[in-house]
Chain A
Amino acid sequence: MEEKKLTKKDLNSMFVRSWFLLGSFNFERMQSIGFCVSLIPAIKRLYSKKEDQKEALKRHLEFFNTQPFISAPIMGVTAAMEEQKANGQPIDDATISGVKVGLMGPLAGVGDPIYWGTLRPVLAALGASIALTGSIVGPLLFFILFNVCRLATKWYGLKYGYEKGTEIVSDMSGNRLRKLTESASILGLFVMGALVSKWTSLNVPLVVSKYTGADGKEVITTVQMILDQLMPGLLPLLLTFLCMKLLKKKVNAIALIFALFAVGIIGYWLGVLA
């Protein structure tokens, strides 16, 4: 029997389909249809019998959920396993499902902090700070840089997963991914520190003392001036810590935002904030 092999065109098709992984996200099986649809080119190539196709489709309609970019290497590995299975290797359904489920958790654990925790906030903050001046460069920069990173991850991830096949599982235990996650966290935290200080505005114009100086000029000292002498950005920093604490206590983010809105309105009304 002739050996079955995925073509470059199949992988390209899987790559494009994977952009829509979350399209039919639902609360029962999450990304399951998206994963199945992404694998359809491979299933079509590898299985000609209706019965085999049916089994493969059902296999990939099982629960699946991971960070969407990091799904690409999992699809690659899965395709490689399906290929081996189609060529008569003794791989059963449970093995394929096991690898999928085994990879989706840890890889999401790497992907979430890198893409959602670091790359997007950093690029978005950069783009937004330019956008505040009204320049189109802000949104363009964010869109292009983010999508270049995304597409590169998906394309190389898919190819890497497919070529490495099942080997990737043992690669996971290596240090490389941990190093990558930790570096991303360091970069992210460093930039967040800068953002808290620079891109927040919290001004307490409450007057502490007011006197006429020797030169006849009026000298006004406000709470904000004293705070700025201590440490610029001190209030936003404390507020950030308070929010972190509350969020950890499962306070809803939207509720927190509404509470801060109330602080703004009441603070302005009392003349404490400006």
Chain B
Amino acid sequence: MSTFEIVMVALVAAICGMGSVLDEGQTHRPLIACTLIGLVLGDVKTGIILGGTLELMALGWMNVGASMAPDAALASVVSTILVIVGHQSIGAGIAVAIPIAAAGQVLTIFVRTITVFFQHLADKYAESSNFKGIELCHFIALLLQGLRVALPAVLVAVAAETGLVTSLLNSIPEVVTRGLQIAGGFIVVVGYAMVINMMSAKYLMPFFFLGFVVAAFTGINLVGFGIVGAVLAILYIQLNPKYSAQSAAVEEIDEL
């Protein structure tokens, strides 16, 4: 790998790492992170396919409240490097992604603990109404989150080329890699389960079963499902006595 490529990997990895703490532009999602790394390493197609596969697995990973999701950024970046530079199969990429995501989560917790130091520094700057100081605390903390992914990514990129990682990965028996690939096909249900639990309301579950049955017996694609789902939601809200009764009450108040 050229120096330029390594610098670019570090840069993209840093952007993905910052994305995973910001949760704004979604650069940390496998779909984006794998594609970007693929682009930098000159094999965007492999990046996209790996990204799509990992994205389906990570569908339910989300930071809600104080709880933290496994780190999709580090997992995506490192597994894409291994697949493209280390000449591994997509299956092997999936296999390494999950343990890396777990390790990334630990790293994130570590950095979020270090950041407490910046919190207290910011308090001190507030005492002297030092605007620049507080801003600096904020963005240095963000930079640390970028380094959290960039440093491991560069290490793996350099190691992957020496063949060390490749031979290590190649020594995994076929029953394991093939088994992991099979598991990759249905492991997405964990993500689905997390999303469903989050929206969990027993009385809304008929909509889930309706979606399941319609998909099982028809060939409608996801865009179609989105439209049908939206129509169903609108109809439900319009016809629901829960809402119409209350809006009637509001009208009565308005008339008074």
Contact = CB atoms under 8 A, between A and B. Distances in A.
Contact of B31 (A131, A175, A244): A131
Nearest to A180: B237
A36 B122 contact: yes
Contact of A125 (B56, B65, B204, B212): B56
B198 A112 contact: yes
Interface in A228-274: 231-233, 235-237, 239-241, 243-244, 247-248, 253-254, 256-258, 260-261, 263-269, 273-274
A147 B215 contact: no
A74 to B, nearest CB: 16
Contact of A264 (B24, B101, B179): B179
Contacts of A118: 199
Given A22-B23, A26-B115, A143 B32 contact: yes
A269 B26 contact: no
B236 A186 contact: yes
Nearest to A116: B62
A130 B52 contact: yes
Interface residues of B, number: 112
Contacts of B3: none
28 contacts: A23-B145, A24-B137, A24-B142, A25-B141, A26-B112, A26-B141, A33-B122, A53-B129, A112-B62, A116-B63, A121-B59, A125-B55, A127-B52, A128-B53, A131-B55, A138-B48, A139-B48, A183-B234, A185-B199, A186-B229, A190-B229, A193-B210, A193-B213, A195-B59, A202-B185, A236-B189, A239-B189, A257-B187
Given A53-B129, A135-B48, A261-B98, 12 more contacts: A34-B138, A128-B55, A130-B52, A133-B49, A138-B31, A143-B31, A188-B229, A189-B205, A253-B194, A261-B180, A265-B183, A266-B179
